[in-house]
Amino acid sequence: MATQTDAGDQKLHAVPSAEDEAGQAYFDKIIAEDSRIEPADWMPEKYRKTLTRQMSQHAHSEIIGMQPEANWITRAPSLKRKAILMAKVQDEAGHGLYLYSATETLGTPRHVLNEQLMSGKAKYSSIFNYPANSWADMGAIGWLVDGAAIANQVPLCRASYGPYGRAMVRICKEESFHQRQGFEILLELANGTPAQKQMAQDAVNRFYAPALMMFGPTDTDSPNSQQSMAWNIKRFSNDELRSRFVGMIQEQVKVLGLTLPDDQIRYNEETGLWEHGELNWDEFYEVLAGRGPCNAQRMERRREAHENGAWVREAAAAYAAKKAQKAQVA
């Protein structure tokens, strides 16, 4: 049976029209010049599809990523910590909004993207399916998870698709604050009582490997990366970015007076890359397939939040309709 995707792929293989050929030539020129593609420009269907998938997954990750930390807002150890954490979680909601808006410029409406998330058709970053068990996890998440996100996202500020690159500039500024606040939580715990230091170490131990897996599968298992790099969406491979991140955190962990749970970290002079111990990729694929520790809970909470927000959407739509009507009369 021909599915919608099959039909889409057939279209891709159809004889290109003169308009398509001119569009492709313009697109190729823009990419070769390392310049930017804007929403109204012609673009290959596969470029549009790849970006829609990547950007919406990114938006979903920002929104689902609010959950593990929101869980600690009411239990933050002080008013100051509560205010900082609340601001951070709100930033993530903002990141989701910029990214959904940027994705919509590729032609898929927001409600469709949302349906894809809630039906389980769309993925989000596997890291958010791990629980946040202690206050120190707020530190480890900020330092390692937001840190990995920055390492991944700074090169995306130069992504060839204009709205994505521009959204990333602001997001990365806020992510830097997120990483600092996480590091500072760990620093304070690491310099606290032996029990607090142990709590910080436990959190780092739990989040280290999942954070490294945020860069995605190894280059040999990431077939789409090459195309994304040719299109100037991605600038560095998964392994390159992961290696850079390991190099960065192995220095920072010394300032914390903690250790990384990996005795195989070393700098390879020949390749110029930081190497690390073997990661459990079976676990990564299990979590990605929806069988991680918190997948069901995260999705249930998201659906519940969507239902609870129905009145806000209705009110906003009614207000917009009223405004449009008034403008028409005027």
Q: Which stretches of the chain bind Fe ion, using CB under 5 A?
A: 62, 92, 95, 146, 175, 178
State how far the Cα of 34 lies from the Cα of 28, in Å rounded to an integer. Answer: 10
Helical segments of 154-309, H only:
162-190, 194-213, 225-230, 238-256, 281-286, 295-308
Structure tokens that stand for 37 in this block: 């593609």
**Cβ atoms < 10 Å from Cβ of 178:** 25
CB of 185 to Fe ion, least distance (A): 14
Between residues 58 and 242, which has the closer beta carbon with respect to Fe ion? 58
Minimum distance of Fe ion from residue 323's CB (angstroms): 31
The smaller minimum CB distance to Fe ion, of residues 168 and 233, is found at: 168
Q: How far is the C-alpha of 330 from the C-alpha of 319, rounded, in Å?
A: 17
Map residue 274 onto helix, strand or coil: strand
Query: Token pair of 36, please?
Result: 């930017």
- Of 178 and 298, nearer to Fe ion (C-beta) is 178
CB of 142 to Fe ion, least distance (A): 8
Beta strands in the chain (DSSP E): 266-268, 273-275
CB closer to Fe ion out of 49 and 82: 82
Of 94 and 290, CB closest to Fe ion: 94
Residue 310: CB minimum distance to Fe ion, A: 25
Q: List CB contacts of 37: < 8 A, sequence separation 6 or more.
A: 27, 30, 31, 43, 47, 160, 161, 162
310 burial via Cβ count (<10 Å: 0-12, 13-18, 19+): exposed
Residues in CB range of 236: below 8 A, 6 or more apart: 155, 244
Beta strands in 74-180 (DSSP E): none
Least separation in angstroms between residue 151's CB and Fe ion is 12
- Least separation, in Å, of the C-beta of 145 and Fe ion? 8
Q: Would you say 30 or 141 has its CB closer to Fe ion?
A: 141
